[in-house]
Amino acid sequence: MALHVSAIIAYRVFKKQNLVRPMITGYKQMDGQPSPLMFKPLIMAVVTLLLSGLAVYLLLTYF
């Protein structure tokens, strides 16, 4: 808890960024244009889903 509060104070003093308001509201004022979203290929999502499903199956079967 103290580390968390210390980090918020350090950001306010050294980086001149208020983190409390964005944590409460969920919105932060940004300078310039936001960068476009970059998505990974669909095949990576499918492979990840299959591997995690296999891992769960193996864990439930052998443990």
Distance CA 51, CA 63 (A): 18
Distance CA 55, CA 61 (A): 10
The Cα angle at residue 32 between residues 8 and 12, in degrees rounded to 5: 15
The pLDDT value recorded for residue 32 is 87
Q: pLDDT band for position 46 (50/70/90)?
A: very high
Residue 19: CB partners within 8 Å, gap ≥ 6?
A: 8, 11, 12
Whether residue 30 is predicted with pLDDT greater than 90 in this model: the reply is no
- With 0.85 as the threshold, say if the pTM is over it: no
